[in-house]
A and B are shown apart, each in its own frame.
Chain A
């Protein structure tokens, strides 16, 4: 079909407006997920729109976009401007490893480069959809409505402020919808408008949109009549507070001698941190496990006291590997009582405006507390300078406990009470037996919780009875719990295989919002009170691990592009890891069902437990099938051409082909009423496509149908006409 294409200048305007709309989707996504590089994604969208604007052939645009994605991933994650063979192979192996992760449904394990690529693909599809909406459907209302709903939702329920965004969306969206409506109208009446006429028709629209939005932006705003419903909604969703009296509330509590039991969330703000990126806020570590909880190690002898601004002792708290890194700064404002200083990993300096304060760094528990006039003092505000530690993957993979004798006495970090049952130790060995390095072993333990039937729960968590071990109960009986369960269990498991480990308390990164100066502020509430694990990597130091389901390990691992240049094994190692991962999963699954029910029962229970997923999957499939069916006028012709390509010139074939063509034309939109003769219809078709091909074909058909002349003189020519018509009808 000769698609009547819109005027190019008009298309430029339309695509620009769509670009603005799409940008409004990206902005909150970027801001809420702490993703930088908005520009890179915008350039990609621009690229997509340009290629559809200029009708770039797919075999040019697809490779260009693909290359761009590859380059962007390079640029973002490896900070390289150009490709090298090593970087490409590294990326490739990274992607390959993700496919198995994908297949196993371990969504949390997907690496960032792969996520980015997926995001690009999503953008690609969206851009294509918009092209379809603009050029084919000439209706973008759906997208516009979705944008408005999305932004309204984001504005209401997240820290993102869409005050200006909604204005931009209104103006560009209304213009877009209006302009497309005009072109749809003109198409309906089979008139192509000249650009000038088009502009003239759109002038009132432009005027109304601009004037009304300008007016709306200057009139004074009235206070809302109803109170903000959002806090109420939130409280309903999260359940009434203070339901049970025996429940403790979340928050930092120095006493951990008895762990377990339910708790209710407490949204009280503890402190605000102005910091460029998410940080785990560490307060203390504990090393003595009592089978019911944690005790403070008794050896808190070494103290380093310093004044604000002086460097901390480079003890175990900091492990800055890359000294060239620019130090980062964090400003904390404490709102609730907090006995110790919360600090991020890699802290080098702590400063506060109050001069008379002295800081005390306790080496064993890693607490930092402030005193004033020899009395404990709780600071209101303080600043921290820190180098976010980065660990080399290569070094981590070479860690080994064999023959390592550091100058630290590890016995406190390998301590285990007698009450810990043997099955815990056995489990630890099963999990780690296939791993080589200490790091991989620790990672295997960390991963173990993610796919072996553990659930995160704050309510149904028991306190272990007198002769029960806290860890044993969690690992084998309940399998549900919160951070304390996960982290304590991981420490015990690590210690069971002779990896020094300790229990860390502090706060999770919290939720970010923008303050009035458009700086990122993280709000840490009592809910963010958290515990995690540090394991000692020989030759590297203490590294945090995050076993709790739902939390992500924030440790930065560098992929060692420089070192892997002379290390051809690097990709293979990843390969190895992948294989091991694959091995690991079936073992874990077997453990879940030791008595293995019959395949039929398994299927039945699987269907039962996944009924909703199945319903969703089926409805998605149904939707896709329906869409394919409704779009059949697009793909059917190509199929038909294939099917009938080899037909010999007999009447039956021609009869079928002609009737196929009639149906296809009907789907295309040229409808034939019952009282219309074929030649009248052919006339209408020819009017639409130009030429007289349908009439030629129809004459031959009529000869056969009404006259019984079913022999053909020039079959190839007829076939060609037919193919031409049916392909046009797909356009």
Chain B
């Protein structure tokens, strides 16, 4: 079984419960393979949780869920040290963050302090409490969701924190036919419970290793950097994409190419993934907001502007 077929099995499995959201599933798996995390931004009830659950079930991983509330404390996320009277010692009890797949629900409802705790452990893949550091077992994949910021009672994530997410995705409502199909399936049973794992964690780790082997041609690297550089000089952009953003795109492209059954990245991969990877990494100037220009539009313009490499660099 090739890598692509393995990934395809996972996607097909998710498809059983998620209808008409193949692209989101693909992007989530891409992020998982690339070792990144995903921020899902959408209104409640469109299937964010279902998606993460299905993904977790498909790969046979442990699934943890943290519901963020305004009064949630960092220790509720990371874990606490408890005094064990028998051993006369403090013992660390890991919090829900220590899991393979973590759903951080409504992350913008909690205080910045708790948000930071979560995001730091996402970046480091470890938890530090009372000077004690615990590595979080791989694969570690956080899928955070947030309600659109216009909603009341939310703490918008700091821009720097957003950089920690590989993709920011929007789920969107399913289309009419997909929704009808969903209702029909729900009639029979709750399918999520019947979902079985199709690959093992071991296989997933193997796939993650394989991602690094996907070839990124020098021309493609230049293309990615060109796109990132363009965001930094764009007149509407206050803060452009960081080098971490370029790196993220490259990794995501590798994973995406692997999923597509290729061992090399094409400019199409870059063009496809850049909006998801860059969208949350640029800060627009107020003028852009006044003019109603969104980050998506700016990225779209950049992508039509930057020349796609179509020839090999002559090595002579």
Contacts and interface: CB of A to CB of B under 8 A. Distances in A.
A708 B312 CA distance: 9
A707 B308 contact: no
Nearest to B216: A706
Contact of A677 (B262, B268, B305, B312): B268
Interface string A698-730: 000011111111000000000000000000000
Contact of A675 (B217, B263, B308, B312): B308
B280 interface: no
A679 B268 contact: yes
A678 B215 contact: no
Nearest to A705: B312
Interface in B287-305: 303-305
B264 interface: yes
A706 B307 contact: no
B57 interface: no
A705 B305 contact: no
Determine the interface band of chain A, counting residues with CB < 8 A from chain B: 10 to 19
B311 A706 contact: no
A677 B271 contact: yes
A567 to B, nearest CB: 74
A703 B264 contact: yes
Interface string B219-249: 1100000000000000000000000000000
Nearest to B262: A707
B20 interface: no
B265 interface: yes
A674 B310 CA distance: 10
Contacts of A515: none
B306 A706 contact: no
Contacts of A673: 304
A677 B308 contact: yes
A706 B308 contact: no
B266 interface: yes
Contacts of B264: 703, 706-709
B267 interface: yes
A680 interface: yes
Residue among A659, A704, A705 with max Cβ neighbours from chain B (10 Å): A705
B268 A680 contact: yes
Contacts of B309: 705
A677 B215 contact: no
A675 B303 CA distance: 6
B311 A678 contact: no
A706 B266 contact: yes
A655 B268 CA distance: 19
Interface string B173-191: 0000000000000000000
Which DSSP category, helix, strand, loop or mixed, fits chain B's interface? loop
A686 to B, nearest CB: 15
A208 to B, nearest CB: 43
A408 interface: no
Contacts of A705: 217, 219, 309-312
A674 B215 CA distance: 23
A678 B267 contact: yes
Nearest to A662: B310
B266 A679 contact: yes
A433 B309 CA distance: 79
Nearest to B264: A707
Contacts of B268: 677, 679-680
A702 B308 contact: no
Determine the interface band of chain B, counting residues with CB < 8 A from chain A: 20 to 34
Residue among B263, B266, B306 with max Cβ neighbours from chain A (10 Å): B266
B214 to A, nearest CB: 9
B249 to A, nearest CB: 15
Nearest to B300: A675
Residue among B217, B307, B308 with max Cβ neighbours from chain A (10 Å): B308
A439 to B, nearest CB: 75
Contacts of A706: 215, 217, 219-220, 264-267
Nearest to B304: A675
Nearest to A679: B268
A707 B308 CA distance: 15
A670 B248 CA distance: 34
A676 interface: yes
Contact of A708 (B217, B305, B306, B308): B217
Nearest to A709: B264
A675 B305 contact: yes
Contacts of B303: 675
B219 A675 contact: no
Nearest to B220: A706
Nearest to B302: A675
Contacts of A707: 215, 217, 262-264
A659 B311 contact: yes
B223 to A, nearest CB: 10
Nearest to A678: B310
Contacts of B308: 674-678
A356 B266 CA distance: 109
A564 B215 CA distance: 86
Nearest to A702: B266
Residue among A655, A662, A679, A707 with max Cβ neighbours from chain B (10 Å): A707
Contacts of A677: 266-268, 271, 308
Contacts of A679: 266, 268
A17 to B, nearest CB: 44
A678 B305 CA distance: 15
Contacts of B271: 677
Nearest to A676: B308
Contacts of B312: 655, 704-705
A677 B268 CA distance: 6
A674 B306 contact: yes
A678 B217 CA distance: 15
A679 B269 CA distance: 11
Nearest to B227: A675
Contacts of B267: 677-678, 706
Contacts of B304: 673, 675-676
A706 B303 CA distance: 19
Contacts of A708: 215, 217, 264
Nearest to A701: B310
Nearest to A673: B304
B311 A675 contact: no
Contacts of B311: 655, 659, 705
10 contacts: A655-B312, A676-B304, A676-B308, A702-B266, A705-B217, A705-B219, A706-B215, A706-B265, A707-B217, A707-B263
Given A677-B266, A677-B267, 17 more contacts: A655-B311, A673-B304, A674-B308, A675-B303, A675-B305, A677-B271, A677-B308, A680-B268, A705-B217, A705-B219, A705-B311, A706-B264, A706-B265, A706-B266, A707-B215, A707-B264, A708-B217
Interface of B: 215, 217, 219-220, 262-268, 271, 303-312
- For the complex of A and B, list the 9 residue pairs with the smallest distance between their C-beta atoms, beginning with the closest: A707-B264, A674-B307, A675-B304, A677-B267, A706-B217, A677-B268, A706-B264, A677-B308, A706-B266
